[in-house]
């Protein structure tokens, strides 16, 4: 069998491309490992947290232990039954999860689709949140999450009006316990179809109409990148309305490294520059087998 010689130019082009690809892969791995190692010596400008739900295969006890070793001081979106585990590890929760109560049609009132924009739920939400806020305050928490609910054909002005009316029934309870109710900004394009509080401007207007220091927004960077972009500009302009931040890689909600489109060190620097003293919680779904290694890497990336 005869073979044709490879032209010198083709050989050199192929060799150069292969070397470049290998170098790029090595650089990516180096940056991931460098970011992970950096998490062991934190700078102290960002208070780090992670969302419990992103680690379904990791027992909460193990998540707390590993999280504390990598510099976490909080685990987000936990429920009252989890409080003892967090206490055991000397951790807090910067954002307590939401309570639910059965609605007239069997729906989970208080969940993302069934929130404060529906007047039929207002009394039920008071009933659900009252013991939840007390338990959260007894634990020492300062923030409890809440949701607008889905539009279901409702216009935005009516949605704000209804949310104001419903939240005014719960806010006195929150104020009594020293808790801030925090409504999360979520995307309605990919993950939460029809959700009403899907733009920062809508949430800011709700804050303005309520005029309460005990009501603010959770600015989820992943969700707002999908819906409107301008993440750093929004943080600089509206940070007084943001009580908490969540991360996530776009697209896909996976690791926040060079595999996605956002540059998190710049975003974290913008948050620090506002004077923010709260927590930033990792809320990405690890795509790699070692979920805790991905979490440690993310803490390193965000520690500016």
Q: For residue range 200-222, list pLDDT tens digits in order.
A: 999 999 999 999 999 999 999 99
Residues 168-186 as b or e (16 or more Cβ within 10 Å = b):
eebbebbbebebbbbbbbb
> What count of other Cβ atoms lies within 10 Å of the Cβ of residue 142?
19
User: Are 186 and 223 a contacting pair, CB within 8 Å?
Assistant: yes
Rounded Cα distance between 277 and 157, Å, is 32
Contacts of 154 (CB under 8 A, 6+ apart): 117, 162, 196
pTM of the model: 0.87
What per-residue confidence (pLDDT) applies to 206? 98
Question: β-strands 143-146, 180-184: how paired?
Answer: parallel
What domains appear along the chain, each with residue ranges and CATH number? Answer: 45-302 (3.20.20.150)
Per-residue model confidence as pLDDT tens digits over 145-197: 999 999 999 999 999 999 999 999 999 999 999 999 999 999 999 999 999 99
Residues counted in the chain: 304
Instruction: Tell me the pLDDT band of 29, cut-offs 50, 70 and 90.
Output: very low
What per-residue confidence (pLDDT) applies to 142? 98
Instruction: Tell me the pLDDT band of 40, cut-offs 50, 70 and 90.
Output: low
Instruction: Please provide the distance, in angstroms rounded to a whole number, between the alpha carbons at the two ends of the chain.
Output: 61
């Amino acid at each position: 069998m005869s073979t044709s010689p490879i032209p010198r130019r083709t050989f050199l082009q192929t060799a150069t491309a292969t070397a470049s690809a290998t170098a790029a892969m090595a650089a990516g791995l180096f940056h991931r490992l460098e970011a992970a190692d950096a998490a062991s010596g934190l700078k102290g400008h960002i208070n780090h947290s992670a969302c419990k739900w992103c680690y379904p295969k990791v027992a909460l006890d193990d998540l707390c232990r590993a999280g504390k070793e990598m510099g976490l001081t909080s685990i987000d979106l936990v429920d009252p039954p989890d409080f003892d585990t967090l206490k055991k590890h000397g951790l807090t929760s910067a954002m307590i999860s939401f309570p639910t109560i059965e609605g007239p049609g069997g729906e989970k009132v208080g969940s993302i689709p069934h929130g404060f924009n529906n007047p039929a739920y207002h009394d039920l939400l008071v009933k659900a949140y009252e013991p939840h806020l007390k338990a959260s305050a007894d634990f020492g928490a300062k923030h409890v999450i809440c949701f607008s609910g889905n539009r279901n054909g409702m216009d935005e002005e009516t949605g704000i009006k209804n949310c104001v009316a419903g939240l005014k029934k719960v806010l006195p309870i929150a104020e009594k316990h020293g808790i801030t109710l925090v409504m999360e900004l979520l995307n309605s394009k990919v993950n939460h179809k029809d959700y009403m509080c899907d733009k920062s401007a809508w949430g800011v207007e709700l804050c303005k109409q309520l005029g309460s220091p005990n009501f603010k927004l959770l600015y989820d960077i992943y969700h707002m990148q999908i819906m409107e972009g301008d993440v750093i500009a929004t943080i600089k302009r509206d940070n007084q309305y943001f009580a908490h931040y969540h991360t996530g890689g776009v697209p896909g909600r996976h690791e926040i490294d060079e595999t996605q489109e956002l540059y998190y060190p710049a975003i974290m620097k913008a948050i620090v520059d506002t004077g923010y003293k709260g927590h930033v919680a990792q809320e990405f779904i690890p795509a790699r087998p070692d979920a805790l290694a991905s979490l440690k890497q993310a803490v390193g990336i965000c520690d500016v």
